[in-house]
A and B are shown apart, each in its own frame.
Chain A
Amino acid sequence: MGSWVVNHWFSVLFLAAWLGLNIFLFVQAFLNFEKNDKYYYTRQILGTALAVARASARCLNFNSMVILIPVCRNLLSFLRGSCSFCSRTLRKPLDHNLTFHKLVAYMICALTAIHVIAHLFNFENYSRSQQAPAGSLASALSSLSHHEKEGGSWLNPIQSPDMTVMYVTFTTIAGLTGVIITLALILIVTSATEFIRRNYFEVFWYTHHLFFVYILCLVLHGIGGIVRGQTEKSMHESHPQKCAESFQKWDNNDSGCRRPQFEGNPAESWKWILAPFILYIFERILRFCRSQQKVVITKVVKHPSKVLELQLNKHGFSMEVGQYIFVNCPSISLLEWHPFTLTSAPEEDFFSIHVRVAGDWTENLIKVFEQQHSPMPRIKVDGPFGTVSEDVFQYEVAVLIGAGIGVTPFASILKSIWYKFQREDHNLKTQKIYFYWICRETGAFAWFNDLLASLEQEMEELGKVGFLNYRLFLTGWDNNIAGHAALNFDKATDILTGLKQKTFFGRPMWDNEFSTIATAHPKSVVGVFLCGPRTLAKSLRKCCHRYSSLDPRKVQFYFNKENF
């Protein structure tokens, strides 16, 4: 528990601040509409539902403002880069931008439900008061528009007993935009569930752009001024505290009370979302400009297990280890951008990605490159964007774990190490690296073999054999493979990979690994980096907490997970 707090205090603080702001805004708006005399007459018809609707509206504005910021990738990359002097714990929350985006989205859904339900009651109450018996306050308030010579001083939007709630909903700006905005929100949410997102990415990506409709309708939603309060002048002349009871005498000129005048509240949503929306438009323009720059494909390599390597070149492109880019191929799909981790090192004069078949788009990409006689298709690139792997050289001891294709960010790191060694870079803080690669089938090892083989050789030549400890785990083994391995037990190199380090079968026992590392480095800060499935993340996180000592001077494990 102690080390969890140490690792996460900033995230907790940030979430507490966000939640606190939500509660504050809700309560403030609620009290305003519940207590303020300006809305005295409105409350006579609507009751508490008015305050509930307005309070949830205020929070919706706030959250709609906040939700755009975590998806401004370039801004976040900029923050991460300019804050390199900040401590690790302050920069870590930037990794969780998508989690925060989802959290705010859930909050928006909950608030929308509250807002819609409250307004359903409001409309129903307006309808009832329009049909209220003559001689009641409700009836007097509802028929204000009939008596005024200048229009616009009404309270009840339902102007006649024949007008149904349905009619008002679809003929007022507020009602119509409200329905559209809620429909857009529901479609965005149903296409963004984990199941749809992971398996049918295109459905998610295209439907999510409905948020433009959401923002447009949100800005228009309050223009009609359908929420009415008494004007200042009218309050001054006939304050509700003294005039409400004598509503039957409003017509009389000598009663001292005139009919109350009302005005609509101005729209305020635009004030909240204008700035982040401009920021987001700027972000999209930036992405577009970057994507227009020419990308040259220098090499295409086909690896077994349907893995395609693309080596690319772009003027002015510079990257750090473990960053990712978004790739678009207009000949496959004009609008789709898919994320890929960079597998090349910053020291190389090209940048590369390894693409595996994982759906429609990737399958088409590989097919397009397999046709060697047709001209090279055009590729657009946006990025690079930073994720956690950039921090790997800041740790004294780094534990890198990649499951299957999740090894790609670490490919970049290992290559970078190789170059740093060649150039004898003494800025490397890292003293030791433990690398675990967990894979199901042997074919997937092939493209990584060369790198590991050359690293092995490199280590031997430089006499630094202990710097990189790597373990390969084959989880999809069968009796045949195990038989082969047992047969060739005495050979110096592994039969599957040709490397000096033997392949292990099955999954790693993390408790053993962590306790070994903790004993070997009792005073170090150890960074654990994972690119892999959630279940593995859970067990690793547990191990990190378990083997971190409570004393901050002794061994500390920090867990980092990369996700898309």
Chain B
Amino acid sequence: MGQIEWAMWANEQALASGLILITGGIVATAGQFAQWYFGAYSIAAGVFICLLEYPRGKRKKGSTMERCGQKYMTAVVKLFGPLTRNYYVRAILHLLLAVPAGFLLATILGTACLAIASAIYLLAAIRGEQWTPIEPQPKERPQVGGTIKQPPSNPPPRPPAEARKKPSEEEEGAVGGPQVNPIPVTDEVV
């Protein structure tokens, strides 16, 4: 189990918890349950958690599949620097956010899920994992004219480019200054 990045699973779990908190909160608020204001809190906390957890961090090895449209949130989350990079901070944050929702039955499921996510994040932090943003790869524009090579400096018949580059291996053809054929050349067109 050496290569497991617990933070990745914690991220999925936290995102799910956020959605559950929002759902529970909506049910409690819309149904005007007793102590429904915890439900209102739960919606706000859920939205915040979803926004925080939406951008997936970069895996240590291999390529990471981004979530659809996550680059906007990545930019925002990146701004907070060590607060969002460090998983200890996230573990404590999630634990604190989970507590108020635990007072209402409709949202207690969200509390439990978020607490589990917090525990997994703690495990990730202990193992030294960190959140690194997925940077968009700069698209390499082919430079106009960059692929145009120098026109051949020898008249035909010419040896292939490979042989031309390694003068020690060439068996025929000319190398050196332009228009100089050290070996007399005859036309070999068939």
The stretch from B40-48, B101-109, B150-158 touching chain A is B101-109
Interface size on A, residues (CB 8 A): 32
- The answer to whether B109 touches A121, judged by C-beta atoms less than 8 angstroms apart, is no
Bound-state Cα–Cα, A169 to B106, Å: 11
Chain B at the A interface: mostly helix, strand, loop or mixed? helix
- The answer to whether B105 touches A199, judged by C-beta atoms less than 8 angstroms apart, is no
Min Cβ gap B34→A in Å is: 7
Q: For B105, list chain A residues within 8 Å (CB).
A: 120, 123, 165-166, 169
Q: For B12, list chain A residues within 8 Å (CB).
A: 190-191, 193, 195-196
Contacts of B5-22 to chain A: CB distance below 8 A: 5, 8-9, 12-13, 16, 20
Bound-state Cα–Cα, A182 to B24, Å: 13
Bound-state Cα–Cα, A67 to B5, Å: 29
Q: For A124, list chain B residues within 8 Å (CB).
A: 31, 33-34
Q: For A116, list chain B residues within 8 Å (CB).
A: 109
Q: Contact residue range for chain B?
A: 20 to 34
Q: For A179, list chain B residues within 8 Å (CB).
A: 108-109, 112
Bound-state Cα–Cα, A182 to B34, Å: 23
User: Which partner residue on chain A sits nearest B104 by CB separation?
Assistant: A166
Q: Is B1's CB within 8 Å of the partner chain A?
A: yes
Contacts of B24-66 to chain A: CB distance below 8 A: 24, 27-28, 31, 33-34, 56, 59, 62, 65
User: Which partner residue on chain B sits nearest A204 by CB separation?
Assistant: B9
Bound-state Cα–Cα, A263 to B1, Å: 51
Of A123, A183, A191, A196, the residue contacting B109 (CB under 8 A) is A183
Contacts of B151-170 to chain A: CB distance below 8 A: 160-162
Min Cβ gap B59→A in Å is: 7
Bound-state Cα–Cα, A14 to B124, Å: 43
User: Which partner residue on chain A sits nearest B102 by CB separation?
Assistant: A166
Q: For A193, list chain B residues within 8 Å (CB).
A: 12
User: Which partner residue on chain B sits nearest A195 by CB separation?
Assistant: B65
Q: Is B190's CB within 8 Å of the partner chain A?
A: no
Q: Is B3's CB within 8 Å of the partner chain A?
A: yes
Q: Is B2's CB within 8 Å of the partner chain A?
A: yes
Of B8, B27, B108, B113, the residue contacting A117 (CB under 8 A) is B27
Min Cβ gap A50→B in Å is: 15
Bound-state Cα–Cα, A193 to B23, Å: 20
- The answer to whether A186 touches B113, judged by C-beta atoms less than 8 angstroms apart, is yes
User: Which partner residue on chain B sits nearest A117 by CB separation?
Assistant: B27
Q: For B108, list chain A residues within 8 Å (CB).
A: 166, 169, 179
Task: Produce 1/0 per residue, A179-217, CB < 8 A to B.
Answer: 100110011011101011001101100000000000000
Q: For B24, list chain A residues within 8 Å (CB).
A: 120
Bound-state Cα–Cα, A116 to B4, Å: 33
Q: Is B116's CB within 8 Å of the partner chain A?
A: yes
Of A186, A359, A360, the residue contacting B16 (CB under 8 A) is A186
Given contacts A179-B109, A183-B112, A187-B116, contact A196 B8 (CB under 8 A): yes
Interchain residue pairs with CB less than 8 A apart (19):
A120-B24, A120-B106, A121-B31, A124-B34, A166-B105, A169-B105, A179-B112, A183-B112, A186-B20, A186-B109, A189-B16, A191-B12, A195-B12, A200-B3, A200-B8, A202-B4, A360-B3, A483-B161, A487-B160
10 further contact pairs, Cβ within 8 A, besides A483-B161, A486-B160, A487-B160: A121-B31, A124-B33, A169-B108, A179-B109, A186-B13, A186-B16, A195-B12, A199-B62, A200-B8, A360-B4
B-side interface residues toward A, CB under 8 Å?
Answer: 1-5, 8-9, 12-13, 16, 20, 23-24, 27-28, 31, 33-34, 56, 59, 62, 65, 105-106, 108-109, 112-113, 116, 160-162
7 closest pairs, A vs B, by CB? A190-B12, A190-B13, A165-B105, A360-B3, A124-B33, A120-B106, A200-B4
